[in-house]
Structure 1
Amino acid sequence: MNIYPDKKQLIELAHYKMPFGKFKNRYLVDLPEPYLVWFNQKGFPDGKLGNLLKAMLEIKINGLEGLIRKIQKDFPRD
């Protein structure tokens, strides 16, 4: 088991935007933690989005949003 996050996955997570709903087009790091907790209780979507939302919840729970914001700044996307 690899305990070190994949750099490409972290860059994708930092730049991924919510594709639907009230927070459509917001970066996942900008989603309110209670919204992510709600998904955790009701069930995350299947596939990539669900995995990214789960990862973001863990990041927020552990106070690591600064890491994601640094990645956004250091690895900008168009």
Structure 2
Amino acid sequence: MLKNDNQKLIELAHYRMPFGKYKGRYLVNLPEPYLVWFNQKGFPDGKLGVLLKSMLEIKINGLEDIILKIQKDFPKE
């Protein structure tokens, strides 16, 4: 279970926004107001929605540094 959770965090750290104004940006680099807007309007279905919700929680709790460290320590292959 722990390994699976670690893999999910690594995926989250390297996931890029696939569309819109912030296309190509890492989710961790999205502005918090943009994530709040999604929260109010509705997150997309599927994996992207789950990752955006997770990133909003991470930002609300001030944990972006953990995601940035994961990006550094576990570079995408």
Task: Give the TM bin, normalised by the shorter chain.
Answer: over 0.9
CA RMSD across the alignment: 1.4
Residue 35 of structure 2 is matched in structure 1 by: 36
Q: Which ranges of structure 2 fall in alignment gaps of 5 or more residues?
A: none
Q: Which ranges of structure 1 fall in alignment gaps of 5 or more residues?
A: none
What do the CA deviations read for 1:4-58 (whole angstroms, capped 9, x no partner)? x810000000000000000000000000000000000000000000000000000
Deviating runs (4+, > 2 A) in structure 1? none
Q: How many residues align?
A: 75
Are 1:16 and 2:5 counterparts?
no
Matches within 5 A, 1:1-78: 6-78=5-77
Task: Return the TM-score normalized by structure 1.
Answer: 0.93
Tell me, in whole angstroms, the C-alpha distance in 1 between the residues paired with 2:6 and 2:62. 19
Identity %: 79
SS in 1 for 2:40: helix
Tell me, in whole angstroms, the C-alpha distance in 2 between the residues paired with 1:57 and 1:27. 13
